[in-house]
Amino acid sequence: MKFDVERHLGAVERSVVALERDGKPARAVTLARSYDTTVEDLWDATTNPERLPRWFAPVRGDFRLGGRYQIEGNAGGEITACAPPKLLALTWEYGGDVSWVDLRLSAEGPERARLRLTHTAHLSPHWQEYGPGAAGVGWELALLGLALHLADPTAPKPDEESFAASPDGKAFIADGCKRWGEAAIVSGEDAERALAAARRTAAFYTGETGGTS
């Protein structure tokens, strides 16, 4: 798959915020990106179980407020807020940990819509090792898949492993991780630790182990 790496990286706004959740230190990782579609179509693409496998992953469950969902091979949880076509909030339960995802959509024009996704998690050894890029790059890859799907809804979903191993994929991941490290620094994280965590995240996603200290 060939695409403009810089254009897709530049399309995403990234931020990291330190806060407390349930009385414990936490971090909120936020991504925002605009798409050339209506807010109704963007909502359908991000919530319709028939469309989700085309750019994200198969999801099954009870798709209503209070219902539970399960992503194939990934997290599950409870839908805690649902206000079509603007708000979806849910718990993100994986590996015995619980975090929270908040998805907000807004119209920017007749054929332009904006997606803002916030993933909030308690501080943990995993965060100390990988920083915001672990969640941030994962979601960024998903938003890239969404962009490709919206541009051509009939196209097959690109193979994630092949993309991550390609020159374009490695460049996208490495630069994205660096940008998440920079966002962590802006939020008040120590610069050396933040950039080292970003390198470890890039190595994890690309399978390359060099230069991750």
Question: pLDDT-derived band of residue 207, with 50, 70 and 90 as boundaries?
Answer: confident
Residue 99 vs residue 3, higher pLDDT: 99
Task: Dig out the tokens for 176 from the structure.
Answer: 């994205």
- How far are the Cα atoms of 48, 75, 129, 131, 182 from residue 125, in angstroms, in the given order? 34, 19, 6, 10, 20
Q: What angle do CA 75, 138, 12 make, to 5 degrees?
A: 130
In order of start, what are the domains of the chain with their CATH numbers?
5-205 (3.30.530.20)
For the chain, strand residue ranges (E) read: 13-21, 24-35, 59-61, 68-71, 76-83, 87-94, 97-109, 112-122
Backbone CA torsion sign across 170, 143, 74, 126:
positive
Report which DSSP code applies to 159.
Answer: P
Please write the tens of the pLDDT for every residue from 18-35. Answer: 999 999 999 999 999 999
Mean pLDDT over residues 201-210, rounded? 82
Task: Dig out the tokens for 100 from the structure.
Answer: 């929270």
Please write the tens of the pLDDT for every residue from 130-174. Answer: 999 999 999 999 999 999 999 999 988 989 889 988 999 999 999
In sequence order, the 6+-apart residues with CB closer than 8 A to the CB of 167 are none
> What 3-state DSSP class applies to 75?
coil
pLDDT of residue 209: 60
Mean pLDDT over residues 86-111, rounded? 96
**Is the model's pLDDT at 85 over the cut of 80?**
yes
Please write the tens of the pLDDT for every residue from 72-83. Answer: 999 999 999 999
How far is 50 from 213, CA to CA, in rounded Å? 42
Rounded to a whole number of angstroms, the distance between the first and last alpha carbons of the chain is 30
Q: What pTM was estimated for this model as a whole?
A: 0.93
86 Ramachandran zone, left/alpha/beta (phi>0; psi -120 to 50): alpha
pLDDT of residue 35: 98
Q: Among residues of the chain, what percentage have pLDDT more than 70? A: 96
Task: Dig out the tokens for 57 from the structure.
Answer: 């992953």
Closest C-alpha to 79, from 92, 67, 95: 67
Report strand pairing: 13-21 vs 68-71: unpaired
